[in-house]
Amino acid sequence: MTEYKNLLVQTEQGITVVTINRPKSLNALNSATLDEMKQLFDILAKDEATKIVIITGGGESAFVAGADIVEMQKLNVIESRNFSRLGQAVFSAIENLPQIVIAAVNGYALGGGCELAMACDIRIASSKAVFGQPEVSLGIIPGFGGTQRLAQLVGKGRAKEIICTTNMLKVEEAYRIGLVNAMVEPNELMETAKAMANKIISKAPIAVQLAKDAINRGFDMSLQAGLAYEADNFGICFATADQKEGMKAYLEKSKPVFTGK
C-alpha cells in the first residue's frame, strides 16, 4: 500500500486501522493530512481486503485536536472556504465508504477531530476522550460538517449549546447524549473496536453495506422517499447468495457461511 507521511495504515484480517499520526501537534489536521486521507479513502473504497475501517489517533493524548490552527491562521477568504470544502469532501468520503467505519476515540476530539469522529458510522471512546467544538473561541465556526452532523446526532438544541458555549464534554456526557456509542477503559479501546468490527464482519457484507446506505440516504430525504429507498435496498438483498444462505441456515438451525456475494 502507498506510504503516507501523516497516516499509519495497517490491514489485518479484514480490519484496516488508520492512525492519524502527527502526535507533536496532537494530530491536528493540516491540508497535507487531509489530502492523504482523501487519497487513502478513495483506495479503501475499492479495497477488497478491507472489510471494515477503524480510525484512531497517534500518541497518548489525542484522537485529533482539530484542524491545524498554524495553517488556518494564514488563510484568506477563498483559501479558507477551500480548506473547509477539502475537509468536508474527506469526511463525506468516509461517511460514504461502502465499509463501516468505527472511530476509536483515544483522547481529545476537538473541532475537526470531533467532526471526524462524527463522520464515522460508530464512535467508541476511551474514558480519556474529550469532545468539543471550540471554534467560536477562535472566531470561526465548525467547517468540516460540525454544524450539520452534531445537530443530526444530538439534536439542534444540544448542538447549539456545545458549539456556542465551547464547553468540553467528558466521555460520560458524550455517551449520555448519544454522541458516542460506547465508553471503555483506554487499554480496552482497540480491543473493543476490533471486537465490534469482527462482529460486523461476520454478518452478510452486502446487507451491511445496503443498510448503511439506506440510513445515510434516508437522512437527506422525506420519510416517504426514505421508505421507498429502503424497500429498493431490501429488494436488492434478494439478489444475493448471502440472503439465501442466511435464511436457509436460520431455518436449518445452523450457522450461516456468508461469501459476500
Nearer to ligand HXC, 110 or 189 (CB): 110
**CA 82 from centre of chain:** 22
CB 6 within 8 A of CB 32: yes
Contact 160, 167 (CB under 8 A): no
| Smallest separation (angstroms) from ligand HXC to the CB of 63 | 10
- Cell numbers for 224, please give them: 416517504
Cβ proximity to ligand HXC, 79 vs 185, nearer residue: 79
Min dist CB 104 to ligand HXC, Å, is 18
Confirm whether 115 is a catalytic residue.
yes
End-to-end alpha carbon distance in the chain: 25
Given the complex with ligand HXC, which of 130 and 204 has the nearer CB atom? Answer: 130
Residue nearest to ligand HXC (CB): 111
User: Cβ of residue 47: shortest distance to ligand HXC, in angstroms?
Assistant: 28
Residue in the block written with cell 483506495? 43
Which residue is catalytic, options 12, 135, 191, 245? 135
Residues at the site binding ligand HXC, with contacts judged by CB under 6 A: 25-26, 28, 61, 65-70, 83-84, 87, 108, 110-112, 134-135, 138, 142-144
Are the beta carbons of 102 and 56 closer than 8 angstroms? no
| Smallest separation (angstroms) from ligand HXC to the CB of 42 | 21
List the 62-64 sheet strands across, edge first.
62-64, 108-110, 130-132, 169-170
Q: Which one, of 246, 212, 214, lies nearest residue 228 by Cα?
A: 214
Q: Which of 36, 95, 115, 230 is catalytic?
A: 115
Indicate the residue among 28 and 37 with the shorter CB distance to ligand HXC: 28
Question: Does the annotation mark 245 as catalytic?
Answer: no
Report CA dihedral (207, 210, 212, 213) to the nearest 10 degrees.
180
Residues with catalytic function: 115, 135
